[in-house]
Structure 1
């Protein structure tokens, strides 16, 4: 199928992550990936850049390492420390705390994209630009603050096709994947993929939100990405109606170690 062309880890949900040359893969995903989240002290919701007005500034925060270090305004703090919470609260403009433990009722705020085609069929009762509070179910599945699958993959071939439709290159970083695979197309749902001694099972194609269009990791705002996804990438997702999708979610069947350049083989 191809080989690993990029590895990313995001120690804090919706914060900037780090590129890696190798990574341990555990049952719940890459070691240290999305093990922390920023929680609003006022309503106990989990910080997610899916609502840019509330949490978009998290994309300016850098997180790295395991145990995690967060960088806010050029200063570095240990995740879980009072100093980190204070710096993040000042950065975000309200009291927050970093936690490895999900709230009893984990919820996030979501702002639906203004692009009508980006509203999935299962949210058809809502209008573009409307906000909602919804359950965050990924932690219950994986023990991590992921949206659903333990690992998120994109491929160079899918990015090239997207670039052709969008009229300009779209970096993989806009989709915040764990793995970039040098391959012609994404593996199909239900496929098991061997990467070295790691085995992943592809679950389904990843429904997209507003985040790929936001400024992040040195990238500017790009509304063309959402328009392109809405026009060309609406597919049926697990029999629940159509949504704009890009990349795939996967769960870990067999943990192990990943390295850049490792061969990727469907089984």
Structure 2
């Protein structure tokens, strides 16, 4: 892979909610700061809610503020805003750390009290609790995920060849930390200098039916998953990476291989 530039940055503050574009992302040793800092937990089974089982969650926008509050916004414009930390004006009950199940592996979470859980439970039609998570613990792949415009274009062409109309915001469906304006994905083992950070590519990312969901409506509309390449028996798209050198990545930053042999 030759040098490329950052075309899109993004993450979701609450796991499963809409993957929002960002002007800049800070990469810490354990991944993007703020990425999936919260999740929803089934209080009876102590299991993290799976997005593929609750696709309408993808159209809820979640943002955090400097004052320690979380804002949830629905497509109809309705909002719920509340603090994530106790204050004199808004005391909150915060439970001890809890071990929860995330796709068969243990993760730690702290259940939070407040208006968000009530609103999301009503929206999803089932009991849920908002929980704070440890960095990277409710992330399916590596700390950082990368897709490229070249691979996105080839996917669009395959879908067009099958008589389908590819979604306009196709890259948003893959929920990548970084979208690079590049012809192909960097190979495993490649180290990329992106902004002031350095990442090392690990492996291709296997995908699930969430990519068939329109993030604007939360409804399955186009069979994107069926048109992905199969790699070692899995349907994959994009690559994940670990953070070698923490730093800041901004839109338009160059991404330069540090080991050009890859």
When normalised by structure 2's length, the TM-score is 0.77
Conserved 8 A contact 1:3-1:261: yes
Select the residue among 23, 30, 33 that pairs with 2:32. Answer: 30
- Residue of structure 1 equivalent to 2:90: none
User: For the structure 1 residues 160 and 199, does the alpha-carbon distance in structure 2 shift closer, same or farther, using more than 3 Å as the test?
Assistant: same
- Distance between the aligned counterparts of 1:96 and 1:49, measured in 2? 13
State whether residues 59 and 217 of structure 2, in contact with CA within 8 Å, keep that contact through their aligned partners in structure 1.
no
5 Å-filtered alignment, 1:135-154, equals 142-154=135-147
Distance 1:219 1:157 in 2: 26
Over aligned residue pairs, what C-alpha RMSD do you find?
Answer: 1.9
Distance 1:31 1:252 in 2: 12
| Aligned twin of 1:216 | 215
- Larger relative strand fraction: 2
Task: Supply the distance in 2 between the matched residues of 1:266 and 1:218 (Cα, whole angstroms).
Answer: 37
How do 1:62-211 residues align onto structure 2 when only pairs under 5 Å count? 62-65=61-64, 67=68, 68-72=70-74, 74-78=78-82, 80-101=112-133, 142-167=135-160, 168-170=165-167, 171-211=170-210
Structure 1 unaligned regions, length at least 5? 102-138, 237-241
- The answer to whether the 8 Å contact 1:37/1:46 transfers is yes
C-alpha displacement of 1:222: 3.5
CA contact (8 A) 1:173 1:217 kept: no
**Matched residue, 1:235:** 231
Greater percentage in helix: 1
Check conservation: 1:8, 1:18, Cα contact below 8 A.
yes
**Residues of 1 paired with 2:183 and 2:212: CA distance?**
24
SS at match of 1:145: coil
Cα 1:210–1:25, aligned 2, differ >3 Å: closer, same or farther? Answer: same
Query: Highest Rg: 1 or 2?
Result: 2
In 2, the alpha carbon distance for the partners of 1:182 and 1:81 equals 42
The answer to whether the aligner puts 1:253 opposite 2:244 as a matched pair is yes
1:220/1:37 Cα in 2 relative to 1: closer, same or farther (>3 Å)?
closer
Contact in 1 for aligned 2:144/2:243 (Cα 8 Å): yes
Cα deviation digits, residues 54-83 of structure 1 (max 9, x gap): x22211321113554222461122354421
Aligned partners of 1:35 and 1:144 also within 8 Å? no
Query: Which structure 2 segments of 5+ residues have no match?
Result: 85-111
Alpha-carbon deviation of 1:245? 0.3
The answer to whether the 8 A contact 2:141-2:205 is kept is: no
After TM superposition, the score normalised by the length of structure 1 is 0.76
Structure 2 CA distance, aligned partners of 1:218 and 1:265?
Answer: 36
| Matched residue count | 217
Shift of 1:260: 0.5
Cα deviations by residue, 1:9-47 (Å, 9 ceiling, x for unpaired): 210111113211112111121110111000011211101
Q: CA offsets, 1:177-229, max 9 Å, x none?
A: 11110000011111111112100111100101000101213586334312212
SS at match of 2:214: coil
Deviates more, 1:163-172 or 1:247-256: 163-172
- In 1, Cα distance between equivalents of 2:34 and 2:9: 13
